[in-house]
A and B are shown apart, each in its own frame.
Chain A
Amino acid sequence: MQTGTRQEDLQVVQSQRTRCEVWTRVMGYFRPVSHFNVGKKSEHYSRKHFVECATANQSFMAQYADV
């Protein structure tokens, strides 16, 4: 297995990209985001995603940082 840099890899697959349906929930059930109404779409795009490791470290620091 020989892989190039990530950048090169990304360029290679660019030509093979296809549409990707994202499913998530705003209401009580999962729906494709493309079927959301305008308001719900805007809520979806304004979501802040968390990085698991960074969040865990922050909660560690909340407990053990110098007080």
Chain B
Amino acid sequence: MLISGIQQFTLLDYPDKTACIVFTPGCNFRCGFCHNPEFVLPEEIEQIKDSFIPEAAFFRFLEERQGLLDGVVITGGEPTLMGDLLPFIEKIKEMGFLVKLDSNGNTPQILKKIVETGLVDYVAMDIKTILPKYKELVGSRVREAHIQEAISFIKDHGIDHEFRSTIIKEVHTPDVLQGMAVLVEGARRYFLQNFRPEKTLDPAFEHYHGFSESELYDIRELFVPVVAEVGIRS
């Protein structure tokens, strides 16, 4: 599997667990607000591709972390685009780690296949906006029906999961937020992530704004009635 980056330690990305993060290159979306354009845009991936980390080195690192870290977070880019994701996860599980998989939900067939093996312990899916506005925000590769399918699958499957949204004042108007609450209704966890106007894929987004703390708490109230646990990451 292609590994474009590794973060050796995190307390934030896997709820209640210690973990490391594996980043994979390439994404089927082009979210203007994306903070990892170096793992998304082909011309930027090109610049770092000679520094990709071989699987063998990652597993050597992981051996050293046995008994120290609880889990591994696999994120990107979009990790479900990696053809050998499943064998990669198998190897991590054999070493006794938990696995959290992040996805934008555009490839539900792959997501289902992987989750149904039982090898993934936690799934996190982004809810970018309401379905009719996806294309405008993430580009033409999105299939709204796929997003809906992924959401329903994750909610119904019973796997431990979260949905999360990066929210931007100019994009996530009250109407949109209402609609998003409908999308995630019945989920186990939902996290609001405040947008920070730094290093965005589309430079235009550097002029957009996040929400104030009190606004975030107000927005949270929209989701509290429909999701078991609603958190704010800002």
Interfacial residues, chain A to chain B (CB-CB below 8 A): 1-3, 6, 51, 53-58, 60-61, 63-66
**Interface size bracket, B side:** 20 to 34
Which are the 7 A-B pairs with shortest beta-carbon distances? A54-B51, A57-B51, A64-B57, A64-B60, A54-B48, A64-B61, A53-B48
Q: What is the count of residue pairs linking A and B with beta-carbon distances less than 8 angstroms?
A: 52
Given A53-B51, A60-B53, A64-B60; 9 other pairs, CB 8 A cutoff = A1-B137, A1-B204, A2-B136, A3-B202, A3-B204, A53-B5, A57-B4, A60-B61, A64-B57
Q: Which residues of B contact A57 (CB under 8 A)?
A: 4-6, 48, 51-53
Interface string of B32-64 (1 = CB under 8 A from A): 100000100101000110111110111011000
Q: 24 interchain pairs (CB within 8 A)? A: A1-B136, A3-B202, A6-B43, A53-B4, A53-B5, A53-B38, A54-B47, A54-B48, A56-B5, A56-B6, A57-B4, A57-B6, A58-B51, A60-B53, A60-B61, A61-B51, A63-B61, A64-B57, A64-B58, A64-B60, A64-B61, A65-B57, A66-B56, A66-B60
Query: Are B57 and A54 within 8 A (Cβ)?
Result: no
Q: In the bound complex, what is the Cα–Cα distance between A63 and B220 (angstroms)?
A: 43
Binary CB contact string for chain B from 135 to 170 against chain A (1 if under 8 A, 0 otherwise): 011000000000000000000000000000000000
List residues of chain B with CB within 8 A of the CB of A3. 202, 204
